[in-house]
Amino acid sequence: MTPAEEVSLGCRVLAAHGNGDLIWGHLSRRDGDGVWLKSAGYGMEEITPGRVVRIDRSGRLLEGRGRVHLEYPIHTEIMAARPDVGAVVHSHAEAVVAFAATGLPLRPVGHEGVLFWPPGIARFTLTGDLIRDRELGAAVAAALGDRNALLLHRHGLVTAGPDVPTAVLTAIFLEKACRMQLAVAAAGAGLDSSDEAEALAKRDRCYGPAQMEAAWDYLVRTLPEHG
């Protein structure tokens, strides 16, 4: 599978699982000194390999004919700071935006939350505006640190992984973890969550490489076809 095909597939999976937002949001994949990125102007569910572009760190178009997202520095600056990161997701998942606005710590109410605690999930509060330049992109990368996910307050989420499947699955699990905790809060009940020992044990058992690969294969097998 080519890098453009991987990004295309990942975008469609994201759209099918709570991370679509009209034409906004994007997924990237590292490729040498460049980054393959979803083209601007299309919904994630519309992305084909021909709607993926390759750019350099300055946002200059290297391959492809699409428009480059204004927020490309989220991707390029994280990858510049993190050699271990091969793919980045930025979406406006509604449950994540709503949860971040509560200011509450994200806890492992269910399985998904163990991917993000301990330690506490990273948060970016410098601005809720678009990450439109390299300085802001570098600030996002610094806030993310060595973790797998970040809440952009008043904005959305960022997830990072060694490859497209991991970054995409992490975004899907983060959306679900936030949605689940919001549901508990709405019920007015006390919050029952895993302690640190249980959370770390569940992280290994539920989200090891074999389980993640099987989950990704399932999402691809069940992906709705789009026009």
* Cα 57 from Cα 183, distance rounded (Å): 40
* pLDDT, averaged across the chain: 97
DSSP 69: P
* Cα 176 from Cα 14, distance rounded (Å): 12
pLDDT tens per residue across span 38-88: 999 999 999 999 999 999 999 999 999 999 999 999 999 999 999 999 999
Q: How many CB atoms lie within 10 A of CB 164?
A: 28
pLDDT tens per residue across span 140-168: 999 999 999 999 999 999 999 999 999 99
The pLDDT value recorded for residue 62 is 97
Ramachandran sector of residue 150 (left: φ over 0; alpha: ψ -120 to 50; beta: rest): beta
Q: Report the chain's terminal Cα–Cα distance, integer Å.
A: 21
* Cα 69 from Cα 27, distance rounded (Å): 10
Buried b (16+ CB within 10 A) or exposed e, 51-70: bbbbbebebeeeebebebbe
pLDDT tens per residue across span 78-117: 999 999 999 999 999 999 999 999 999 999 999 999 999 9
* Cα 166 from Cα 106, distance rounded (Å): 20
The pLDDT value recorded for residue 111 is 97
Residue 134 pLDDT level (bands cut at 50, 70, 90): very high
The pLDDT value recorded for residue 188 is 87
Counting every residue, how long is the chain?
Answer: 227
Interacting residues of 223 by C-beta distance below 8 A, sequence separation 6+: 9, 12, 13, 16
The pLDDT value recorded for residue 226 is 45
Residue 227 pLDDT level (bands cut at 50, 70, 90): very low
Strands 26-31 and 61-63: unpaired
* Statement: residue 13 has pLDDT above 50: yes
Q: Which of 83, 97, 72, 71 is nearest to 33 (CA)?
A: 83
Query: Mapping DSSP to helix (H, G, I), strand (E, B) and coil, where does residue 88 land?
Result: strand
Model confidence, pTM: 0.97
Angle at CA of residue 215, ends 213 and 75, nearest 5°: 75
* Statement: residue 21 has pLDDT above 70: yes
pLDDT tens per residue across span 177-201: 999 999 999 998 789 999 999 999 9
Six token digits for residue 73: 């520095």
